[in-house]
Chain A
Amino acid sequence: MASSQQQVQHTTTDKNIWGVITASSVGTLIEWYDFYIFGSLAAMGIIGKQFFPSDNPTAAFLSSLATFAAGFIVRPFGALFFGRLGDLIGRKYTFLVTLLLMGGSTFFIGLIPGYASWGAAAPLIVLILRLLQGLALGGEYGGAATYVAEHSGSNKRGYFTAYIQTTATLGLLMSIGVIILTQSFLRDETQVNPNAAFEEWGWRIPFLVSIFLIIISVIIRMKMHESPMFKKVKAEGKTSKNPLKESFTKKANLKMVLLALFGATAGQGVVWYTGQYYALSFMNKTCSIDSAQANEIIMIAIIFVTPFFLVFGALSDKIGRKYIMMAGLLVAILAYRPIYQKMYDIADLNKKTEIADKTQKDEKTELTKDKDGSITTTKIVKTFEDGTIATLITKNTKFNDANKKPKEEKSKSVKLSSGDKTTMTFLIFIQIFFVTMVYGPIAAFLVEIFPTNIRYTSMSLPYHIGNGIFGGLTPYIVTRIIEASKSEANPAGDVLSGLWYPIGIAALTLIIGMIYLPTRTDKSMED
């Protein structure tokens, strides 16, 4: 029988590594897709409209962000629960369970009727399903990263685990892609709101599609084998009897969990979610950019920037993980405010010259759904010299009953000129480039600082607190800070004020990371 050392050596040179990466990445990608559909639709305001009362759109938007955030908040609990299972029974079966849990929850979100039909029960059920999604994701990522890392040789671990790192961004890309496809398929230009069908029921399709993706992924994962390092530890009888206790009550491990959180994942989390999620929310809600165009901008930027995850993962094998991650944090801290100022300016109609002759006005009056009044919809389309087109829609609802207050809803949609669209895409590209720097090497970094018998549990917790709590709450906290900056004198508030949250967290992580993180982690991963 070959020695344990030889067994690991054998697997690290095994050509089958690409099979391992593919099987792990496909499942993780699909889980991210499932998780982000909700976020993408929340950022577009659709979840808010469907599942929350419509009398205050801002409150509905914030409530939908809170539900979105709930999925992130439970991720650390998923990390603990499934991490423990993964360290006890193995990596393979644990992340097979997480995949099924995620797929089921996503599918059912697509089936839940809206607030208008089910009242408060609808958001409550959605919240529960969202919590299950968060738990599943909490268990998935650590397993996949650990599984790939434990199959990789030490000289290419950063590069190989970087494939897992691309899955979160590609999952976001896939969710936006499916939303765009569904939107364009259901778009009806003859309607005042061409996206009405999508907003009414079409948004369910991306959730329902998930079930097919999950089936494919489960079939692929069933063929996978257990990680060689875990097999070795198990064969030697060295698996942990209580991974939670060992991870968080032993000072030697707990201090590394805290270091990983405050010195790496907290800052990495806010950079990830600012560059991708908040950027999308900022384009949609603050800049009022047409949602299809905003999605397209994010998609193009992601397509061009994704290879850099692999570049920085591979580079970290050569020069170490620490300085690449810290450089990413530094540039993000310095660049966020100028980037967001530029994004705001690009879409600011006050800075553009309108071509008055081209302005079109259309007015239509129809009965309300309940036939208890009338809705007058006024649509004004303005064209600007640089090619920007702005659509302003005002809906005035008057009721037959004089005691019922009339309602007025206003919406604005800005379609950028091709030049501005390119600039906006570049600004998003830069932000996601920062993400590739901080996120590309982090899986390898995390797996290398913990021993095999508690690796799944120990690396998952700081990862999911950093990404789920510090990062995932970014759009929610940033939006809340902007709301708090609104006053009678400044009703729009300071649209850049919320950026102090990611800047502050990234700065704290940069300081701690630079001073405390070891330059070289244990690349052997041998216990």
Chain B
Amino acid sequence: MDALKKILGIVWLLLSPALIIMMLRQFAIEIPALQEAIAAGKKPASELQSTYLFWVITITIFVPVAAGLGLFGYYSLKGEYQESAMT
């Protein structure tokens, strides 16, 4: 189990920036697409505000959490969660 924890540590370390990039990328895609739809009259203008609000909340809150996952991965890789280190 200790070896698995170390391997998974790398997974969490990689997952952390991947999640941050995914959030920022989705934000960068969604806003221009919505602005286009509003300009074409397909969606109401008020949707832009709620979409911005959603992404500002999501990015502000989940980026530090994702960074925490990276730190968790780092500790895991360093053997901090091995049986001997937990007792």
Residues of A within 8 A of B (CB): 53, 55-56, 58-59, 62-63, 66, 69, 73, 251, 254-255, 258-259, 261-262, 465, 469-470, 473, 476-477, 480, 484, 488, 511-512, 515-516, 518
Q: Let me know if B68 and A59 touch, CB within 8 A.
A: no
The residue from B1, B5, B46, B57 contacting A66, defined by CB atoms under 8 A apart: B57
Cβ-based interface call for B30 (8 A)? yes
Chain B residues with CB under 8 A of A69: 57
Chain A residues with CB under 8 A of B75: 251, 255, 258
Chain A residues with CB under 8 A of B84: none
Chain A residue with the shortest CB-CB distance to B49: A59
- How far does the alpha carbon of A62 sit from the alpha carbon of B53 in the complex, in Å? 9
Chain B residue with the shortest CB-CB distance to A479: B54
- How far does the alpha carbon of A66 sit from the alpha carbon of B54 in the complex, in Å? 8
Check A62/B54 contact, CB under 8 A, given A55-B46, A258-B71, A515-B5.
Answer: yes
Chain B residues with CB under 8 A of A53: 46
Q: Let me know if B76 and A516 touch, CB within 8 A.
A: yes
Q: Let me know if A251 and B49 touch, CB within 8 A.
A: no
Interface residues of B in 31-87 (CB under 8 A from A): 42, 44, 46-47, 49-50, 53-54, 57-58, 61-62, 65, 68-69, 71-72, 75-76, 80-81, 86
Cβ-based interface call for B20 (8 A)? no
- How far does the alpha carbon of A62 sit from the alpha carbon of B46 in the complex, in Å? 11
- How far does the alpha carbon of A56 sit from the alpha carbon of B48 in the complex, in Å? 12
Residues of B within 8 A of A (CB): 1, 4-5, 8, 30, 42, 44, 46-47, 49-50, 53-54, 57-58, 61-62, 65, 68-69, 71-72, 75-76, 80-81, 86
18 more contacts with CB within 8 A, not counting A480-B54, A516-B76, are A55-B44, A56-B46, A56-B47, A58-B50, A63-B50, A66-B53, A66-B57, A73-B57, A259-B72, A469-B65, A473-B57, A476-B57, A484-B30, A511-B8, A515-B4, A515-B5, A515-B8, A516-B5
Q: Let me know if B65 and A515 touch, CB within 8 A.
A: no
Chain A residues with CB under 8 A of B58: 477
Check A56/B44 contact, CB under 8 A, given A255-B81, A258-B68.
Answer: yes
Chain B residues with CB under 8 A of A488: 42
Q: Let me know if B1 and A515 touch, CB within 8 A.
A: yes
Chain A residues with CB under 8 A of B5: 515-516
Closest 10 CB pairs of A and B: A59-B46, A258-B72, A56-B46, A62-B50, A59-B50, A255-B75, A255-B80, A56-B44, A516-B81, A480-B54
- How far does the alpha carbon of A59 sit from the alpha carbon of B51 in the complex, in Å? 9
Chain A residues with CB under 8 A of B69: 262
Q: Let me know if A518 and B86 touch, CB within 8 A.
A: yes
Q: Let me know if B72 and A262 touch, CB within 8 A.
A: yes
Return A80 CB to nearest CB of chain B, in Å: 13
Chain A residues with CB under 8 A of B81: 255, 259, 516
Q: List 25 A-B contacts (CB under 8 A).
A: A53-B46, A56-B46, A58-B50, A59-B44, A59-B46, A59-B47, A62-B53, A63-B50, A63-B53, A66-B54, A69-B57, A73-B61, A251-B75, A255-B72, A258-B72, A258-B75, A259-B72, A262-B68, A262-B69, A469-B65, A477-B58, A511-B8, A512-B72, A515-B4, A516-B76
- How far does the alpha carbon of A254 sit from the alpha carbon of B44 in the complex, in Å? 46
Return A463 CB to nearest CB of chain B, in Å: 14
Q: Let me know if A251 and B80 touch, CB within 8 A.
A: yes
Chain A residues with CB under 8 A of B53: 62-63, 66
- How far does the alpha carbon of A63 sit from the alpha carbon of B53 in the complex, in Å? 8
Chain B residue with the shortest CB-CB distance to A70: B57
Q: Which of A55, A56, A58, A470 has the most CB of B within 10 A?
A: A56
Return B68 CB to nearest CB of chain A, in Å: 6
Return B66 CB to nearest CB of chain A, in Å: 11
Chain A residue with the shortest CB-CB distance to B4: A515
- How far does the alpha carbon of A516 sit from the alpha carbon of B85 in the complex, in Å? 12
- How far does the alpha carbon of A515 sit from the alpha carbon of B49 in the complex, in Å? 42
Chain B residues with CB under 8 A of A480: 54
- How far does the alpha carbon of A62 sit from the alpha carbon of B1 in the complex, in Å? 44
Return B22 CB to nearest CB of chain A, in Å: 12
Chain B residues with CB under 8 A of A473: 57, 61
- How far does the alpha carbon of A62 sit from the alpha carbon of B51 in the complex, in Å? 9
Q: Let me know if B80 and A465 touch, CB within 8 A.
A: no
Return A399 CB to nearest CB of chain B, in Å: 19
Return A46 CB to nearest CB of chain B, in Å: 18
Return B13 CB to nearest CB of chain A, in Å: 13
Chain B residue with the shortest CB-CB distance to A56: B46
Return B34 CB to nearest CB of chain A, in Å: 10
Chain A residue with the shortest CB-CB distance to B55: A480
Chain B residue with the shortest CB-CB distance to A522: B87
- How far does the alpha carbon of A54 sit from the alpha carbon of B49 in the complex, in Å? 14
Chain A residues with CB under 8 A of B86: 518
- How far does the alpha carbon of A63 sit from the alpha carbon of B65 in the complex, in Å? 23
Chain A residues with CB under 8 A of B72: 255, 258-259, 262, 512
Chain A residue with the shortest CB-CB distance to B1: A515
Return B77 CB to nearest CB of chain A, in Å: 12
- How far does the alpha carbon of A218 sit from the alpha carbon of B17 in the complex, in Å? 46
Q: Let me know if B68 and A261 touch, CB within 8 A.
A: yes
Return A107 CB to nearest CB of chain B, in Å: 27
Return A133 CB to nearest CB of chain B, in Å: 17
Chain A residues with CB under 8 A of B71: 254, 258
Chain B residue with the shortest CB-CB distance to A484: B30
Chain B residues with CB under 8 A of A251: 75, 80
